[in-house]
Amino acid sequence: MKKQNFQLIGRNNNKGLNFCALFFIVVSVLIIGNSVCYAAEADQHEGAQYFNQVCSACHTINGGRLVGPDLVNVQERRSDEWLGQFIKSSQTLIQSGDPQAVAVFEEFNSMVMPDAPFTDEQITAIIGYIEVASGGGEETVGDGSEDAVDPEVLSEEAALIETGAASIEKDIILGQNLFQGKIRLQNGGPSCISCHHVKNDAVIGGGILARELTTVFSRMGEPGVRAILGSSPFPVMQQAYLNKSLTDEEIFAIVSFLEQADRDHMFQQPRDYGVKLAGTGVVGLMVLLGVYSVLWRNRKTKPVNKSIFDRQGKSQ
C-alpha cells in the first residue's frame, strides 16, 4: 500500500507555510534594507566572477585577441543593449541579420559563441565589469582567477615550446596519449577522443560528437586552444569537465599535440584499414560462431515430433 495524501495533513502544512512566509518576508526586508548600499559593489564583483568563469576562455580585456575579440572599451563600439543580446544568444542576433554581429562572426572564423546561461541581471553585471575593467587602462585585467590568461605567461610558454626539440617531442607524445585516452587525465575527465577527431597517423577514428580538431590550432591560435582547455565556454564540454579540470601539464601537452597535428596534417596519412577492417570482423565472427557451434553443439534444434510433422500433408 502506498501512503496517501490526506486532506487534513495538507491543510496543516499550508498553514505552517503561511507563517513561514510571513516571517521570511519580515526578515528579508530587514536584510535587503541593510544590503542595498553594497549592491553596486557586489554587482561588479559578481561580474568579475562570471567573466573569469566563462568569458575569459575566449576573451580578454586589454589582453589581445584570443578566440574572440579583446573586449577593452567595447562599450565605446557597441551599445549595452546590443551587447546584452549578443551575450544572451549571439546566433539569434546573427541570424536576424544584424550587420555588426555578422561582421564580427565572420571576422573570427565563424566561431560560434555559445549561448551563455546568464540571467539579465548577471549580463548587466558582466557588462558593468567590462566597463570598469577597461577603465583600468594599461594593466591586464582578468587576474584573480587561474583561468585568466596572462599574455606574458603565454609568451613564456611559447618560448618554452620553441626551446629544446626533445621536450617538444616528449610533450607531443604525451599529448597524443592523453588525447587518445591511452593515459588517463589526472582528474578523471573524459579523454578528448570520446568526442573529437584529429587527422593524424596516430589516431584511428576519433569521436564525431564534437568538432573535428585537425586545424583548430590555426583557427583559434594557441591562446584560444589553451583557454578553452582551461575553462571551456561550451556547455557540453563544461559539464563533461565539471570538477575534473585538466592540469597545466596536461593542457600544455595536448596543446603541443594539437599544434603538431595542425602543422603536419598535410603529410599525415592515417592508415585506412578499409575493407580489411570489415574483413577482420567477418573472419572474427566466423571463428566465434565456429567456437559456439562446437560449444553449443548439443542444443535441441528439432521438435520431438519432427518425424510426425514431416509426414503431415502441407497445403502450400
Partner 1 sequence: MDVRSQVSMVFHLDKCIGCHTCSIACKNIWTDRKGAEYMWWNNVETKPGTGYPGKWENQDIYKGGWEKDGDSIALKGAGKKKGLLNIFHNPNMPMIDDYYEPFTYKYLDLIESPASDDQPTARPVSLITGKPIDIKMGPNWDDDLSGTPDYARNDPNLEGLTPAEQDAMFQLEKMAFFYLPRICNHCLNPACVAACPSGAIYKRGEDGVVLINQDVCRAWRMCVTACPYKKSYYNWNNGKSEKCILCYPRIEAGFAPACMHSCVGRIRYLGVILYDADQIESAASADESELVDKQLDMLLDPYDPEVIKAAKANGVSDSTINAAQGSPTYKFVKKWGLALPLHAEYRTLPMLFYVPPLLPVMASVTEVSKDQNDNLNPIAKQWTDSWLYDTSTEELWGTIDQARLPLKYMANMFGAGDESKIKGQLQKLMAVRIYRRWKTVGDISEEKVNEVLKDTNLTAELADEIYNLTSLAKFDDRFNVPPAHREQAIEMLEFAGDEKGSTGFGIKEKVQRGL
Regarding 14 and contact with partner 1 (CB under 8 A), the answer is: yes
- Give me the count of residues in the chain: 316
243 versus 315: smaller Cβ distance to partner 1: 315
Q: Say if residue 304 is exposed, middle or buried (CB neighbours under 10 Å; 0-12, 13-18, 19+).
A: exposed
Regarding 267 and contact with partner 1 (CB under 8 A), the answer is: no
Helices (H), the chain: 7-35, 39-53, 74-77, 80-88, 90-95, 99-107, 120-135, 151-162, 165-180, 216-230, 235-240, 248-264, 274-295, 306-311
Q: What is the DSSP letter of 59?
A: -
Stretch that binds partner 1, among 8-16, 168-176, 200-208, 222-230 (CB under 8 A): 8-16
Regarding 296 and contact with partner 1 (CB under 8 A), the answer is: yes
Residue 27 CB, shortest distance to partner 1, in Å, is 22
Regarding 269 and contact with partner 1 (CB under 8 A), the answer is: no
Stretch that binds partner 1, among 22-30, 110-118, 169-177, 304-312 (CB under 8 A): 304-312
Regarding 304 and contact with partner 1 (CB under 8 A), the answer is: yes
Regarding 3 and contact with partner 1 (CB under 8 A), the answer is: yes
Give the separation between CA 200 and CA 264, rounded to whole angstroms.
Answer: 8
Evaluate whether 208 touches 39 at the Cβ level (below 8 Å): no
Q: Among 259, 249, 57, which residue's Cα sits nearest to residue 162?
A: 259
166 versus 300: smaller Cβ distance to partner 1: 300
76 versus 310: smaller Cβ distance to partner 1: 310
Report the interface residues with partner 1, using CB under 8 A.
Answer: 1, 3-11, 14-15, 18, 292, 296, 298-301, 303-306, 308-309, 312-316
